[in-house]
Amino acid sequence: MEEGVFLFNEAPLTELMYLGDELRKKQVPHGKVTWQIDRNVNTTNVCIANCKFCNFYRIPGHPDAYITDIPTYRKKIEETFTYGGDQLLLQGGHHPGLGLSFYTNLFSQLKSEYPNLKLHTLGPPEVAHITKLEKSTHHEVLKALKASGMDSLPGAGAEILVDRVRRLISKGKCGSQEWLDIMHEAHKLNITTSATMMFGHVETIEERFEHLVKIREVQSRKPENAKGFLAFIPWTFQDVDTLLTRIRGVQNLTTPEEYIRMIAMSRIMLPNVKNIQASWLTVGKQIAQLCLHAGANDFGSIMIEENVVSAAGAPHRFTYRTIQEAIQAAGFEPQLRNQQYEWRKIPEAIKEQVVDY
Ligand code: SF4
């Protein structure tokens, strides 16, 4: 951790970029930049966690509160297929009334109607919430979710995996150790996962590096044949109209240079995580393109729909055509992939969405 902090603070940007790029070439020698087509659909916006950076949730009983119904899923899934997608990223709030059977019934129904659809669902804080509601164990909850159709578990809700930070910004969510324990349990069940970090708010530089070391340590304990964390995705806090900004005056002051340094340091600190993703959604196209020369090898999904980060100000959008143009303009060959990082062919009948928001 100390060495990471030292390099982050002291090494010239170009040296960090060079090192990140060389390590990326070792991990991902094919040199292609992967990307994905999926859609973030929210199961419910009802949440009792009250994260201070979240503009998406509504308290129980609020007039805007919703639980997505099956006809809406059908419409969104069919649109997703039209736009070339193969997966829903399915997440929502910590609804106090929705236990394990709600999710297992939902996943089984979606899989029975759309057997080719992949479900990248929930995140450790939601698994922790369901476990608490059911008075069960992480193992039992994850096993049931997997059996009902969960294909992979996103690394959502990690923010910074240090409890001092979590108490300040997301104290209604599980603590850092529980987040890590759930991921380790998922690895033991051979559920593919990813890891994230949301930075640029109240954390110190040391805490960012503590986070990276914790991710590396959990990955080092995964069973030999498990995929574990397939990717690491650092992204910046979006501060438009959030409580954290309005009440505590916390703003995201991350500069482009700082983001690129964090990408390079993620590659350096995580030799056991193969894919490092640049978050174009939060930092924009140009900075994300530079990250491809600093250790990142993946551009993530075009996200046909995204409501959570966008609600706090993230304005950037790609279609299947413009994301490939951006990767090519950065000097790389784009390659469509699925959540397991297996390559896909772009469907012949793909339609380009109209970005009108
Ligand atoms: S980030 Fe998630 S857990 Fe936190 S308030 Fe928003 S919906 Fe709830």
Residues contacting residue 233 through CB under 8 Å, at least 6 positions apart: 155, 194, 195, 196, 197, 276, 277, 279, 300
CA distance 345 to 269: 32
3-state DSSP assignment of residue 79: helix
Tens digits of residue pLDDT in 105-162? 999 999 999 999 999 999 999 999 999 999 999 999 999 999 999 999 999 999 999 9
Q: Whose CA is nearest to atom 7 of ligand 1?
A: 93
Instruction: Determine phi and psi for 239, rounding to 5 degrees.
Output: -110, 5
Q: pLDDT for 57-93, tens place per residue?
A: 999 999 999 999 999 999 999 999 999 999 999 999 9
- The 10s digit of each residue's pLDDT in 199-247 is 999 999 999 999 999 999 999 999 999 999 999 999 999 989 899 999 8
| 153 in Cβ contact with 185 (< 8 Å) | no
Indicate if ligand 1 lies below 6 Å from the C-beta of 54. yes
pLDDT in tens, 295-341: 999 999 999 988 888 888 778 899 999 999 999 999 999 999 999 99
93 pocket-lining for ligand 1 (C-beta < 6 Å): yes
Q: 237 CB less than 6 Å from ligand 1?
A: no
Q: Which contiguous run of DSSP H or E holds residue 323?
A: helix 320-329
240 lines ligand 1 (CB under 6 A): no
126 Cα nearest atom in ligand 1: 3
Helix (H), strand (E) counts: the chain: 14, 10
Percent of the chain with pLDDT over 70: 99
State the pLDDT confidence band at 355, using cuts at 50, 70 and 90: confident
Taking CA atoms only, the protein residue closest to ligand 1 atom 2 is 93
Residue 262: what pLDDT?
98
User: Would you say the CB of residue 198 lies under 6 angstroms from ligand 1?
Assistant: no
Ligand 1: does its nearest atom lie under 6 Å from the Cβ of 84?
Answer: no
d(CA 315, CA 305): 12
Residue 47 beta carbon below 6 angstroms from any ligand 1 atom: yes
Looking from the CA of residue 125, the nearest atom of ligand 1 is 3
Q: What is the pLDDT of residue 91?
A: 95
Q: Kindly give the distance from the C-alpha atom of residue 83 to the centroid of ligand 1, in angstroms, as a whole number.
A: 28
**Model confidence, pTM:** 0.96
The pLDDT of residue 357 is: 58
Share of the chain above pLDDT 90, in %: 93
For the Cβ of 51 lying below 6 angstroms from any atom of ligand 1, the answer is: yes
Decide: 233 in ligand 1 pocket, CB within 6 A.
no
Query: Where does 83-227 have alpha helices with state H?
Result: 100-113, 124-134, 138-148, 163-169, 176-188, 205-220
Radius of gyration from C-alpha coordinates of the chain: 19
Residue of 58, 68, 89, 173 with the most ligand 1 atoms within 8 Å of its CB, for mutation: 173
Ligand 1 centroid vs 54 CA: distance in angstroms?
6
Q: Does residue 95 have its Cβ closer than 6 Å to ligand 1? A: no
The pLDDT, as a whole number, for residue 196 is 98
**CA atoms within 13 A of residue 255's CA, in its CB half-sphere:** 4
| Ligand 1 atom, smallest distance to 48 CA | 8
Distance of CA 102 to the CA centre of its chain: 23
